[in-house]
């Protein structure tokens, strides 16, 4: 299998590692589930990138070409350092050697400290498949005997991220942490609504063959805010995004620094 890698946003500093890399089965997964977190990280000065595994070509609304344009616009709104699409098959994501190599190349190219990945369980089979593919690739990316090469034919060095977190999708889990995204909430919604064909946007007029879907109606958009308010309330914020830390526990040297967020007593 040969993936069709498309660079949507060229990294202006290709020799500098990303602080955070978000992997997603489809364009819009990150904006839907961790959009506030990536907006906040960029605002805090970190280098953040998104790699979408597929073009979402099986979606009932929009086109693969249109979704790439929407992903590029969302990247601009967020302020990403880089965004690309691996062109793996929508509906066909699997933890195979060929697909792992495509993801391993990405991990070794960007050398992130933190990786955000799809939920371990979800109503959409691609999401859990993407989570398994990502976790396998993250492990194998650290093995020196697995050889990969960059676009110039140069061998890539092994790299394994230090931290991996699942973002929550349709199926809830008991989160390890919740990120307060209150200050970037308007920006997060703007980035999500850049995917005009997929989510409710009053300015988008669907064509006759584009049905309303699970995520395209106003009620779903209201649910997005309701869930963010629910998790925000749990940490004393207005809006929050939940994550599940993979392979915990994680180490701490400065407990006060880790727990500096002031949580009101509830």
Q: What is the pLDDT of residue 11?
A: 92
Would you state the pLDDT for residue 261?
87
Does residue 236 lie within any of the structural domains? yes
For residue 42, the SS3 value is helix
| CA 83 – CA 54 distance, rounded (Å) | 13
DSSP 8-state class, residue 216: T
Residue 168 located in a structural domain: yes
- Cα-Cα-Cα-Cα dihedral sign, residues 90, 93, 96, 102: positive
Query: Residue 148 in contact with residue 231, Cβ under 8 Å?
Result: no
Question: What is the predicted pLDDT for the residue at 211?
Answer: 86
**pLDDT at residue 266, rounded to an integer:** 58
Domain assignment present for residue 263? The answer is no
Instruction: Determine contact, residues 113/49, Cβ cutoff 8 Å.
Output: no
pLDDT digits (tens, 9 = 90+) for 16-29: 999 999 999 999 99
C-beta neighbour count of 124 within 10 angstroms: 18
Residue 1 inside a domain? The answer is: no
Expressed in angstroms, the distance from the first to the final Cα of the chain is 53
The CATH number of the domain holding residue 74 is 3.40.50.10320
Altogether, the residues listed in the chain come to a count of: 266
Does the residue 264 lie in any domain? no
Domain range holding 136? 6-258
| pTM: predicted TM-score of the whole model, two decimal places | 0.94
Instruction: Name the phi and psi angles at 171, rounded to 5.
Output: -100, 120
Residue 54 domain-assigned? yes
Q: What is the pLDDT of residues 211-263, one digit of tens each?
A: 888 888 889 989 999 999 999 999 999 999 999 999 889 899 999 999 888 87
Specify if 144 maps to a domain: yes
**Angle ∠(181,182,185) on CA atoms, nearest 5:** 80
157: in domain? yes
What is the model's pLDDT at position 190? 95
State both tokens at 106. 């990405």
Domain count along the chain:
1
């Amino acid at each position: 299998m040969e993936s069709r890698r498309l660079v949507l946003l060229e990294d202006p500093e290709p020799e500098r590692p990303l602080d955070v890399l978000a992997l997603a089965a489809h364009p819009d997964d990150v904006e839907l589930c961790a959009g506030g977190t990536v907006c906040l990280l960029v605002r805090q000065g970190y280098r953040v990138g998104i790699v979408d595994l597929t073009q979402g070509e099986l979606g009932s609304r929009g086109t693969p070409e249109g979704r790439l344009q929407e992903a590029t616009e969302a990247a601009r709104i967020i302020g990403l350092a880089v965004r690309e699409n691996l062109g793996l098959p929508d509906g066909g994501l699997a933890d195979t050697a060929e697909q792992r190599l495509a993801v391993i190349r990405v991990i070794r190219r960007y050398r992130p400290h933190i990786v955000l990945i799809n939920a371990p369980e979800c109503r959409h089979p691609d999401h859990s498949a993407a989570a398994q593919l990502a976790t396998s690739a993250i492990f194998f990316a650290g093995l020196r005997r697995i050889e990969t090469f960059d676009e110039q034919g140069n061998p890539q060095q092994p790299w394994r991220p230090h931290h991996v977190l699942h973002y929550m999708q349709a199926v809830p889990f008991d989160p390890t942490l919740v990120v307060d995204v209150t200050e970037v909430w308007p920006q997060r919604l703007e980035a999500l609504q850049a995917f005009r064909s997929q989510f409710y946007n009053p300015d988008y007029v669907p064509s006759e063959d584009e049905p309303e879907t699970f995520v395209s109606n106003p009620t779903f958009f209201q649910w997005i805010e309701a869930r963010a308010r629910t998790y925000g309330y749990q940490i004393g914020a207005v809006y929050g995004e939940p994550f599940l830390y993979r392979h915990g526990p994680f180490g701490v040297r400065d407990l006060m620094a880790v727990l500096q967020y002031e949580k009101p007593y509830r």
